[in-house]
Amino acid sequence: AALALLCGSVAAVVVWKWLGKRQIQKKMEEAQRTRDEGVKKMAKAIPLIFPFQVSSAQTDAILSLPLLELTGRLREGSLSPRTVLYTYVEKALEVTKQTNCLRHFIPECEEQLQEIQQQREKGLLYGIPISIKDHIGHKGHLSTCGLVQCLGTPVQEDSILVKVLKSQGAVPFAMTNVPQSLFNYDCSNPIFGQTLNPFNHQKSPGGSSGGEGALIAGGGSILGIGSDVGGSIRLPSSFCGLCGLKPTAERLSVWCTCLLNVDVCSRPTPVPCALGPMARDVDSLALCMKALLCQEMFQLDPTVPPIPFDEEVYSSSAPLRVGYYDTDGYFPLPPCMRRAVWETRGALRAAGHQLVPFSPPRIHYVMTELFLKTFFADGGCAWLDLFTGNIIDPSLKPQVNCCKIPRLGKMLLALILKHLDYLSDSPLLLKLKNIATIPTCRSVKEMWNHHHQIEAYRTEFIARWRELQLDVVLCPVLGPAFTLGYPGKLLTAISSTMLYNVLNFPAGVVPVSMVTEADEEELKHYRGCCNDPWDRTLKQVCNTETGCGRGRGGCVALPWREELCLRFMKEVETLSQKK
């Protein structure tokens, strides 16, 4: 009888787990079916909306217009918002068929077209089709973060950012794909699948705003909104050859940017999430910021400082005092990215700017004790709880497996590493500590101390900046695009971007040069810090065809100086185009 009871209990548990997984699978299939049906409906709608044939020459002409010129044509009436919208919808259909970058079309874009016709004044983004990242709330649509538990209830109200975009005449028409839980710089989740780089389908578009990167780079959107908590705007911009800006976190409202408080944008954290624009050129980023920094934004979210866009700073041509570095000493980047910094440094100097060597302090400490400790203060428990039914995307498994190491295993590993203190300066040992023994906060007091350490580091960094009397800093950004599946294996490689999330400084990225044969040859001899497994992996994943990958320049300013950061980005962009 006891044996029968035990067998029955085991069978019941197995059936219960099977039913749970089956229910999850049905949810995922329903979400996929809804997405696919939405794409098909939009594809069928285009011939009905445009019963006449739009010439390919006209379509190409619209798609090739820079944002500033397109807004001018729309405002003067030589182009209609409807024509522009559905030209971009048609292109987006083509791009997502190749890259799987869209999570959902927004059918209400037709209603928004009607709304902007009724507006008394044409906003700065009048008639501009705009794409938004999955977790930025749009009324009536899911904010999934690539998670099964978020497939239930649609958002009940537009996020403040979407409200302001609509008030400025923009037409949100698509939501783009993201990695599961957003905590990855690849772009794959178990529900909607892997997004591909439009220039090379064997490469990642970056993440977590990877859907935005792929759509804009492929020509299916002229302006997008992403988010950034460790490089999630700048890395996709780097991987896809775009311009992107991570503002100071509080400069734009993040209200209603996710559902159920599941992601880093909604958690109270000393390393805050920032929303920002992605586009093909710097002027587009500046126009977007100018449109968003308006009275409506300040009224809808009183926590946003009422600081309008300073056009005078952005348009200035005064010489700048520029700090620069080509490595942070933690994760040396590929030759093409370091060369991009040196070539940009030379061009800036020739243009009359002052260039000053700058070295960011203690990046090993920042990566381990400040950045990782912020997000894994509880050992990753809250993060692991997000994966309903233990459904985990393969690209996240390296991080998940680290968090799942039993506490005893972590203690033993920490003990072993402690006895290797004589190797404390070894980059290999430091990376191993980061990966295998993610630091945690074991008490409230320790958490408060952690917050204090971040503030102390910001003070130290600003003091060094002030001592050198810098206006801005030029730095490297991770790239070119990684081979699919590898970003999850190289979490430590994001040191070049995460620094400015910890500091909460505005930071942007600009494409400056193409990968050359010399870069490819030098990459063959790349050793990184000590030719350890992470360094060797980077060498494997960065191989690209000469002339396809691009070197990028990172541009940074002090907090609340987005206009100065953009002005510096514009200078770098102009000089690289002249070259």
Find out whether 182 is annotated in a ligand binding site: yes
Nearest-CA neighbor of 183 among 428, 477, 479, 498? 498
H helices present in 168-281, as ranges: 210-217, 234-240
CA separation for the pair 108, 141 (Å, rounded): 10
Residue with tokens 């690289």: 576
Question: ω into residue 495 within 30 of 0, thus cis?
Answer: no
Find out whether 232 is annotated in a ligand binding site: yes
| Tally of CB atoms within 10 A around 121 | 7
Find out whether 219 is annotated in a ligand binding site: no
Are 359 and 504 spatial neighbours (Cβ–Cβ below 8 Å)? no
Dihedral (Cα; 98, 285, 507, 319), 10-degree rounding: 130
CA separation for the pair 13, 546 (Å, rounded): 55
Are 529 and 535 spatial neighbours (Cβ–Cβ below 8 Å)? yes
CA separation for the pair 431, 408 (Å, rounded): 20
Are 478 and 333 spatial neighbours (Cβ–Cβ below 8 Å)? yes
Residue with tokens 């016709």: 117
Bridge partners (DSSP) listed for residue 176: 102, 133
Tokens of 11: 């069978």
Tokens of 404: 């799942």
Q: Would you name the residues annotated as active-site residues?
A: 133, 208, 232
Length of the chain, in residues? 579
Are 435 and 491 spatial neighbours (Cβ–Cβ below 8 Å)? yes
Find out whether 229 is annotated in a ligand binding site: yes
Find out whether 211 is annotated in a ligand binding site: no
Are 207 and 487 spatial neighbours (Cβ–Cβ below 8 Å)? yes
Q: Which residues are annotated as a binding site for substrate?
A: 182, 208, 229-232
Annotated binding site: 182, 208, 229-232
